[in-house]
Amino acid sequence: MKLFSLVTVAVMALCAMPVRPADATIIIDQFTDGTYTLSVNASSPVAVSDLSGLSGVLGGRRRATLTYTTNPTDTGSVVSDVGFPPDVLDFNAQVGERGSLLLEYGLAGDLNTDLTNGGAENGVDVYFLISDLGSTLSLSVTTQRGTMNEITETVSKVTGSGPQVVHFSFSEFSSANFTDVDLLSLKIDGVLNGDYRVDLIATQMIPEPVTVVGLVAMMAGLGRYMRRRVRKA
């Protein structure tokens, strides 16, 4: 009877955990539209792609600014492209080179987007398929009143077969109102020789840590109870 009660409580806890509906995610960029190729070097340190009317892109417009940040006497280059291969963003530096890539959405300050999706979402996720040397990633948000907030997260080296997901929690921003976002920008500060590949930027709902910890503790208790039952038997 006690075992049945513990299992029932655990199942109820699982059901009570926040679950993101399939249609809740707001796609910021899935890189299925708006192909471009940019290349920069010491003699031409900045290149820009500004495309509009795009599908799968928040606000329909993406501006990508690639900047060369290595020694101006070097002869190598840094390259970024979308669509080669399909449906991903690539950002690569030749040996001995480095650069930064800035992606901007809502350049006219007219996104007027509720990134919380009515409270269903609590952060922005960036999915890295490749990050061979790690990096830092900055997310900047400008809201209706012209207030800009920015935080930076670490991009670790991608290992294994799955993507590394870098999560920006809305609660980390000091005063941003994510129910009315006008401008959103994301900057990858590449390291020397760094290569990166991103296939999705989107909002995401994750369970509150206290809920997860409580559930783990409950399941651990259930496991101990079942082991005691087996020993007694």
Q: Is 203 exposed, middle or buried (0-12, 13-18, 19+ CB in 10 A)?
A: buried
pLDDT at 24 (0 to 100) = 54
Tell whether the model's pLDDT for residue 60 goes beyond 60: yes
pLDDT at 108 (0 to 100) = 84
pLDDT at 116 (0 to 100) = 94
pLDDT at 69 (0 to 100) = 92
Q: What is the DSSP letter of 60?
A: G
In the chain, the domains with their CATH numbers are 23-207 (2.60.120)
pLDDT at 162 (0 to 100) = 75
- What average pLDDT does the segment 117-137 reach? 94
- What average pLDDT does the segment 71-78 reach? 83
Q: What is the DSSP letter of 182?
A: E
Sign of CA dihedral 201, 55, 119, 10: negative
Residues of the chain above pLDDT 70, percent: 76
pLDDT at 223 (0 to 100) = 52
pLDDT at 166 (0 to 100) = 95
pTM attached to this predicted model: 0.79
